Structure 1
Amino acid sequence: MKNQISPVIALEKPRIAIFVSFSGSGGVERMILNLTREFLNLGVRVDMIPVKQESFHLDLLPQEVNVIDLGASHNLSSLPGLVRYLKSERPDAILAAKDRANTTAVLARRLAGISTRLVLRMGTTVSAAMAGTHPIRERIWYLRMRMLYPSADAVVAVSRGVAHDLKKNAGLPPSLLRVIPNPVISPELVTMSEQAPDHPWFQESTVPVLLGVGRLTRQKDFTTLLRSFAFVRRNRPCRLIILGEGRDRGSLQSLARDLGIMEDVAMPGFVENPYAYMRRAALFVLSSLWEGSPNVLTEALALGTPVVSTDCPSGPKEILEHGRFGPLVPMGNPEAMAQAIVKTLDAPLEKSLLKTAVQAYTVKESSKKYLETLLVK
């Protein structure tokens, strides 16, 4: 191995299989890429097993990664191929990410009849994500987790809030859970942030630009962000950029028109380099109804950008230390969010202080903890 990771890691040139559904362009995909790159830096071989091959993320993987094609189109159809892979290749450990991939990985290891160490990653607060769904569907979801997840060797929760949720609602024993901060902060993040954003508003430094980033879905609640921005804009010049794409684009644009703020709201869609926007924004706003550990909030702080966040389950309260590093406001409350935005614009915290909030979220530190969980005697 190139580096000594931990006394508990005793395998020579270990091989880790990562089974994941690259189903979007969000935080999970970026975190898996960050982990993979750092695993390679630390002398670990990586087999990447995507549920399906149709993802631009595969093009971003280092050449040293061995990409396994299961010939599948969804999680269920990937099961036979994953079983065959495990029987023939027998990696030292498997890391599965996202709930459906977790389920498939547990079943595949059982069917393969091998003892390869299996670690599951949970990146969202399940109870909040299931809120509003049919009670029968919710019960089936938790029943599946109670039946299958304890078969794994460990379950990584990305925040203490996610771990508590898994204990309380899925009945997972504390001994199974490991809280590991996401691998967010890297030299590449800083380098990318230094590039010029492709938007004219950042050339006019006198008008502050607020920024939101995420999928345009109910979870991110950009409706509340738009309404709060309308309150702020009544009393001062400012602009809002929302980066991301999703099924709520049409309704959000209609709301912006109805609020009379369309000329000061931009929704350019998904951009490959949101960090250039984050670095230059006057303020980053997280308006989510639920998260696990919001990477975009961590990224903004790492770049020294002031933040305002909802106190949603889970993650923001931990990252911001109960409001020390940025205001926490009730979910779905535009007035409270607007007040916090104004106060933060008027008296932003020092960049150096904001950066100290997320020191535990470096790629190096997080990857080391993942390896300590994956590769044990």
Structure 2
Amino acid sequence: MKDVVDVSSPRVLLYVDSLKIGGAERITLTLAQWLYQEGWTPVVLTRQPLARDFYPIPAGVERAVEPVDPDWLKRLHWFGFPWRVQRLRCWIRRERVAVAIGMTTLPAIKLLLATRPLAVPCVVSERNYPPAKRLAMPWRLLRRLTYPWADLHLVQTRSTGKWLANKVGAKHQLLLPNPVQWPLPRFAPAPDPESWLAAAGVVADDPLILAAGTKAYQKGFDRLMSTFALLAARLPRVQLVILGLASTTYHGMDQQANLRALLAQHGDFQARLHFPGRVGNMMDWYQRAGIYVLPSRYEGFPNVLLEAMAAGCACVASDCLTGPADLIENGRNGLLMPIEASSMDWAETLAELLDDTKRRRSLAKQALGVHERFAQQALRQSFCKALAGLQIADHQGIRNGKDG
């Protein structure tokens, strides 16, 4: 029999692969912080070790790590998955979890399997538009099997919610876009933009285009290289800074070196391409930028675009699925580029905007409206109310089909 949960401070599990730099990882900690503020006890559990953490853990949030697989389990590869699910199930029982939240697809699937026999409501939070990144066949089958079991799906956009409902039977949904975090958090490393750029040979009044992300292909940084080459040939002082890409390899690829090589194919502009790496003082970099660009192939709900708008940047983003069009009203508070736009189209748009100070200031001023549209208080209340409803339904034995 499951131990009685202390309902005065119910324990909520937030399960995510790691707390490395990234949007899903940041919103995991935001949700945990909200839960603590509302009187819950949040526990963030990851598969990756503490050494991978980039973000500081908020006060009141517990931190846990899954055990390292023994050698025999590692040798089983995919066939060891049932043992990993059972181990997670035992952990949930031992920790007396009242509600469990799976962040991103694979942790969500594993969590749904682990909680299926338990009296523990389970919530799924997709962080990208699902069809944009094709899963391997076993995971696609498991997603189709398990997602209808979820007591609630947190969806960032209506497009994602519609896809989940139609394709994987995710009927119980809460629309929960990412909130504006303000003031923006600040933590190490925090290199001063002016000092860092001066050391790289950048003059203080050189026009600067800023981009940020940890996954170069998703963010379209490869396509940005041809755009920047056209722009750099036209504007001899323009600089491009890309934040977030590590100097180490990502899935076997040196992303920085790959982008430099792509740029070299278009001309000798590498001295004007800069990679400060991962930084904890994004606000300082937004303030230095003339334009923020998001040339993504796909998104979920782009945190960094929301941040840039909140910081008062003039923003240009691809009209990809999903998220940018939920933030930008084209021509009023930013610019949306058609997903099929060419590098020349992008270069022309950026050149015109860099040349038009009045328009940049107007877009930046209107972008500040995201503070009201995506304010934390209303979103926090909606989220915590939904979780409280799941716990009440669990105690009353009327949860979504798990008792049938």
Q: TM-score, normalised by structure 1?
A: 0.85
- Is the contact made by 1:278 and 1:305 (CA closer than 8 Å) also made in structure 2? yes
For 1:343, which of 321, 336, 352 is the aligned residue?
A: 352
The offset of 1:101, in angstroms, is 0.3
Letter in structure 2 aligned against 1:272: G
- 2:127 and 2:165 map into 1 onto residues whose CA distance is 14
SS in 2 for 1:181: coil
Question: Could you tell me which residue of structure 2 aligns to residue 200 of structure 1?
Answer: 197
Question: Could you tell me which residue of structure 2 aligns to residue 257 of structure 1?
Answer: 264
- 1:54 and 1:239 map into 2 onto residues whose CA distance is 36
- 2:331 and 2:85 map into 1 onto residues whose CA distance is 44
Question: Could you tell me which residue of structure 1 aligns to residue 152 of structure 2?
Answer: 154
- 2:59 and 2:33 map into 1 onto residues whose CA distance is 10
Question: Could you tell me which residue of structure 2 aligns to residue 183 of structure 1?
Answer: 179
Change (3 A) 1:322 1:156: farther
Letter in structure 1 aligned against 2:307: E
Give unmatched runs, 5+ long, in structure 2.
1-6, 75-79, 393-404
Deviations 1:40-73 (A, max 9, x none): 2232211222123244438711353222333145
For 2:113, which of 107, 116, 122 is the aligned residue?
A: 107
Deviations 1:249-298 (A, max 9, x none): 22211122232211211122222333321222101000110110111100
Q: Structure with the greater relative contact order (CA < 8 A, sep ≥ 6): 1 or 2?
A: 1
Change (3 A) 1:60 1:251: same
The offset of 1:205, in angstroms, is 4.0
- Is the contact made by 1:298 and 1:319 (CA closer than 8 Å) also made in structure 2? yes
The residue correspondences of 1:1-377 to structure 2 (distance < 5 A) are 12-22=8-18, 24-57=20-53, 60-62=56-58, 64-72=60-68, 76=81, 78-110=84-116, 113-130=117-134, 137=136, 140-168=138-166, 170-173=167-170, 175-189=171-185, 196-197=192-193, 198-201=195-198, 204-236=203-235, 237-245=237-245, 246=250, 247=253, 248-259=255-266, 260-331=268-339, 333-345=342-354, 346=356, 347-350=359-362, 351-376=364-389, 377=392
Letter in structure 1 aligned against 2:263: A
Letter in structure 1 aligned against 2:258: S
Change (3 A) 1:312 1:199: same
- Is the contact made by 1:183 and 1:365 (CA closer than 8 Å) also made in structure 2? no
- 1:125 and 1:104 map into 2 onto residues whose CA distance is 19
Letter in structure 2 aligned against 1:217: A
SS in 2 for 1:107: helix
Name whichever of 115-124 and 249-258 sits farther off.
249-258
Letter in structure 2 aligned against 1:288: S
- 2:269 and 2:101 map into 1 onto residues whose CA distance is 45
SS in 2 for 1:48: strand
Change (3 A) 1:125 1:150: same
Letter in structure 2 aligned against 1:241: V
Change (3 A) 1:309 1:334: same
Name whichever of 49-58 and 299-308 sits farther off.
49-58
Give unmatched runs, 5+ long, in structure 1.
1-10
- 1:323 and 1:167 map into 2 onto residues whose CA distance is 32
Q: Sequence identity, in percent? A: 24
SS in 2 for 1:38: helix
- Is the contact made by 2:185 and 2:281 (CA closer than 8 Å) also made in structure 1? no
- Is the contact made by 1:294 and 1:315 (CA closer than 8 Å) also made in structure 2? yes
- 1:360 and 1:285 map into 2 onto residues whose CA distance is 21
Change (3 A) 1:37 1:363: same
Question: Could you tell me which residue of structure 1 aligns to residue 399 of structure 2?
Answer: none
Change (3 A) 1:209 1:201: farther
- 1:225 and 1:25 map into 2 onto residues whose CA distance is 21
The offset of 1:103, in angstroms, is 0.6
Change (3 A) 1:357 1:204: same
Question: Could you tell me which residue of structure 2 aligns to residue 8 of structure 1?
Answer: none
Change (3 A) 1:255 1:180: same
Q: TM-score, normalised by structure 2?
A: 0.80
Change (3 A) 1:167 1:343: farther
- 2:59 and 2:186 map into 1 onto residues whose CA distance is 23
Letter in structure 2 aligned against 1:328: L
The offset of 1:95, in angstroms, is 1.2
Larger Rg: 2
Question: Aligned-residue CA RMSD in angstroms?
Answer: 2.8
Letter in structure 1 aligned against 2:346: M
Change (3 A) 1:12 1:283: same
- 1:163 and 1:96 map into 2 onto residues whose CA distance is 16
